[in-house]
């Protein structure tokens, strides 16, 4: 008797990510709470980040989507086989690049909505601290 293949259907995984995460966006306040719980860290590389308004709606939504994508990948990576892995990462790589471009094009202002001068430049690293946990067997 042939063993039943228990690997998930990739198309179904992508549909589930879209319907369960991207199509069910939270309110701005809920996204802020969830981003806070995701424990992202921001490390300034250049410029003064104290002037930035991190409650910018696009910034919060983009970080929220990155966090949800990261959680989804971590949850499902062990369920796919090596053959499916390339398609899995290709799908999320495209989305990651899109979100990265959104972050790179953001214009932060202060709470009053002021914009930085064109000569002001800020570079930062946004990362998520992880416990040393193996993602793949």
Please tell me the predicted confidence (pLDDT) of residue 118.
Answer: 52
Q: Is the dihedral of CA 6, 10, 15, 20 positive or negative?
A: positive
Residues, the chain, total? 137
Report pLDDT for 16. 84
pLDDT confidence of residue 73: 87
Q: What is the pLDDT of residue 49?
A: 81
Cβ atoms of 79 and 22 closer than 8 Å: no
Per-residue pLDDT of the chain (137 residues; tens, 9 = 90+): 555 555 567 778 888 888 888 888 889 999 999 998 998 888 889 888 887 777 888 999 999 999 999 988 888 888 888 888 888 888 889 889 999 999 888 876 554 445 455 556 778 888 887 776 555 55
pTM score over 0.85: no
pLDDT of residue 111: 47
pLDDT of residue 9: 77
> Please, which contacts does 60-65 make with residues 24 or more away whose CB atoms are closer than 8 Å?
60/28, 60/31, 60/32, 60/35, 61/25, 61/28, 61/31, 62/99, 62/102, 62/103, 62/106, 63/35, 63/38, 63/103, 63/126, 64/26, 64/31, 64/34, 64/35, 64/38, 65/21, 65/22, 65/99
Residues 6+ apart with CB under 8 A from 45: 123, 124, 125
pLDDT of residue 61: 92
Ordered by start, the domain boundaries in the chain are 31-108+120-126
């Amino acid at each position: 008797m042939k063993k039943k293949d228990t690997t998930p259907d990739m198309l179904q995984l992508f549909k589930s990510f879209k319907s369960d995460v991207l199509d069910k966006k939270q309110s701005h306040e809920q996204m802020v709470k969830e981003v806070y719980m995701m424990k992202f860290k921001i490390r300034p590389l250049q410029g003064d980040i104290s002037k930035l308004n991190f409650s910018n709606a696009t910034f919060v939504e983009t970080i929220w989507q990155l966090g949800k994508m990261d959680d989804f990948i971590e949850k499902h990576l062990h369920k796919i086989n090596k053959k499916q892995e390339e398609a899995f990462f290709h799908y999320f790589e495209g989305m990651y690049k899109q979100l990265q471009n959104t972050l790179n094009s953001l214009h932060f202002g202060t709470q009053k909505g002021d914009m930085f001068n064109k000569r002001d430049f800020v570079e930062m690293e946004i990362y998520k601290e992880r416990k040393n946990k193996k993602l793949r067997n």
